[in-house]
Amino acid sequence: MNERLLKRLADVREEAQFAVDLVNRHGSAASSDPTLRRALERACEIVGEALRALVANDPEIAAEYPDLPWREAIGLRTKLAHGYDSLNPGQLIVIVQDHFPDLIRQVDTILVERP
């Protein structure tokens, strides 16, 4: 895997972990505090954008790892960027709690399998 794709995967992992840590540390305050909410939104945007760029540059990767929620994460990024006013901040916390730990594990698998 080329350096650019490895960087994108590392970005996904780093930002997903940041989002999980933020939610674990601050709980529901991550949806009510404007600074925390914006940090959480930005981390989720980066996750989705990095995954979008990965698929754009290596279309086979999505087929190779079908359990990774490519479309959902990219869709979340699109919703944050273009439909930001339609997403309840509490929903974002639930998404991070329920899906990002598995996303991190899956990205770690890709990083090990595709050095």
Both tokens assigned to 56: 């754009």
Q: What is the pLDDT of residue 39?
A: 96
Mean per-residue pLDDT pooled into runs of 10, the chain (115 residues): 88 97 95 93 95 91 88 90 82 94 94 78
Q: How far apart are CA 53 and CA 72, in angstroms?
A: 14
User: Could you list the residue range(s) of the whole structural domain that residue 72 is in?
Assistant: 3-113
Q: How far apart are CA 108 and CA 92, in angstroms?
A: 22
Contact 43, 23 (CB under 8 A): no
The answer to whether the predicted template modeling score (pTM) of the entire model surpasses 0.75 is: yes
Give me the number of domains the chain comprises: 1
Q: What is the pLDDT of residue 100?
A: 96
Q: What is the pLDDT of residue 115?
A: 64
